Amino acid sequence: MDMREKIRQLIHFFTRSLWRVTEDDVSRSRYKSYNLLKITIQTVKCFIKDRVWIRAAALSYTTLFSIIPILALLFAIAKGFGFSNLMERFLRDGTVANGTIDTVMNFIDNYLAYAKSGVFIGVGVIMLLWAIINLADSIESNMNAIWDVKKQRSYFRKLTDYMALFIIFPITIIMYAGVSIFMTTIYQQLADHYLISSFVHICIKLAPYIISGLVMTGLFLFIPNTKVRFKNAFIPGMITGIIFQAFLYIYIQIQMSVSSYNAIYGSFAIIPMFMLWADISWCIILFGVEMSYVSQNIEQYNFGEEVDNVSRRYHDFLCVVVMSLICKRFEEGELPYTASELSDAGEIPIRLTNRLLDELEVAGLIYGFSSDAKSEIEHFLPAIAISQLSVGRLLSTLESHGCEDFKIDHTKEFSNQWNAFIGHKEEMYTKTNEILLKDL
């Protein structure tokens, strides 16, 4: 076999064969390894398809305008706990441009001073809350878009959830700074004990990566307005946190190497450097969100090419299969099917199952409901008496649903074409009108 044939087979495997493998086709370990491969490929494809870098640029712009009010709030909370010095040390450790940090600290001090004085106190608090909610809302909107979630949090939930998040965040920083100081002190005291001091030194080096991963896990778990499984938030969160922290280290090294750039622009150097950091950081975070979404929904991408190009004949056949299963389950008086159960029962790819259910519901043939007010999983019931739901009625309803109000003259100019088409359809409907879906 020549190299060209091997490359062709490899491309065919990654683009088609890999996505047709089901759990019954291979061993469990191989299926898991294939899933990891599919998650990696699909995450990159979704990252490109969703044009995530544009979302990251928008979030960077919003972050630039919100950063001073948010830092002011974080420092105010930290000062309330008596740990403002730890917060400042944490901020200084994240950059080598101390002159720039001094400028930022002056902004924060002035903001807090004005917010606590005179008439400005009301306006200052409102602007501070608006900046926080605006940034958090932008983050949630972008994560919801990646998760394909249409419904946003209510305004009350946004206010309570976001404020809780911004209270927990400085506490997390304070705890991290405290643990870092404690570990550093132990390391210095145990310098003569090589093994113990080496272990403590490794813990100090790894701590930022672990904490960053846990923070990302929390964001992926709680920010999207949908149920995210822990394992689908934890692994992408840890990967994202490690990449984020590694980039932060590289960013600091870059700052050290462009000291002349800071000398030219002075404190204004913070703006382009911050925008660069924020843009790449949001790209990393949103890539992690894509990975979290794909890992939880990887089964939807099986048979992806086939789902996107399913024939009309096979589409109608699958509608008959789905409706038949729903009607039979209803007649038996059992708990109605969910989309996942229908996918398993009919061996239909879940993404195609969801598409068929949407079409059937819009056409008024079924309706979905949640068995629990807190649950987002829908069960599906027939919307018409099953004694009247025949194959002919199903196909007729699907084919006639939608708009037919165009200026095409099917009564005169194109009457022959129309009559030939309708005659064929009516003949098919008549033959299948007596076949009830529940009896198939």
Pull the structure tokens for residue 91. Answer: 């901020």
Domain check: are 42 and 157 in the same one?
A: no
Q: Which domain holds residue 21?
A: 3-47
Residue 361 has pLDDT above 60, yes or no: yes
Domain shared by 126 and 155, yes or no: yes
CB proximity list for 110: less than 8 A, separation 6 or greater: none
Quote the tokens at residue 182. Answer: 């404690």
CA 332 to chain centre: 38
Domain boundary among 300, 318, 342: 300
Whether residues 310 and 268 share a domain: the answer is no
* pLDDT, position 284: 93
* 207 and 90 co-located in one domain: yes
Residues 28 and 139 in one domain: no
pLDDT higher than threshold 60 for residue 266: no
Tokens of 399: 């084919």
Whether the CB-CB separation of 162 and 73 falls below 8 Å is answered with: no
Nearest to 236 by CA among 208, 251, 214: 214
209 and 245 Cβ atoms separated by less than 8 Å: yes
Using CA of residue 12, residue 18, residue 22, residue 27, what is the dihedral sign? positive
Q: Model-level pTM?
A: 0.73
- Winning range, highest mean pLDDT, from 192-201, 370-379, 428-437: 428-437
Q: Which of 264, 281, 300 is the last residue of a domain?
A: 300
Q: Is 257 helix (H, G, I), strand (E, B) or coil?
A: helix
**Tens of pLDDT along 312-333?**
889 889 999 999 999 999 998 8
For residues 179-202, give the mean pLDDT.
66
Q: How does pLDDT run across 72-105, given as a tens digit for each residue?
A: 766 776 666 666 666 666 666 655 454 556 666 6
Residue 236 clears pLDDT 90, i.e. is over it:
yes
On whether the CB atoms of residues 236 and 214 are closer than 8 A, the answer is: no
Q: How far apart are CA 125 and CA 104, in angstroms?
A: 19
Which of 265, 280, 300 corresponds to the end of one domain?
300
What percentage of the chain exceeds 70 in pLDDT? 74
Question: 271 and 314 share a domain?
Answer: no
Q: Which amino acid is at 343?
A: S
Domain count, the chain: 3
Query: Residues 262, 376: one domain?
Result: no
- pLDDT value of position 85: 66
Question: How does strand 366-370 pair with strand 378-382?
Answer: antiparallel
Domain shared by 92 and 220, yes or no: yes
Statement to judge: residues 312 and 419 lie in one domain: yes
How confident is the model at residue 327, as a pLDDT? 92
Contact 153, 225 (CB under 8 A): yes
Look at 100-109, 215-224, 258-267 and tell me which has the smallest mean pLDDT.
258-267
pLDDT band for position 271 (50/70/90)?
Answer: confident
Q: Do 422 and 292 belong together in one domain?
A: no
What is the CATH number for 321? 1.10.10.10
Distances (CA, A) of 321 to 227, 287, 315, 325: 29, 37, 10, 6
Domain co-membership, 215 together with 350: no
Query: Are both 225 and 322 inside the same structural domain?
Result: no
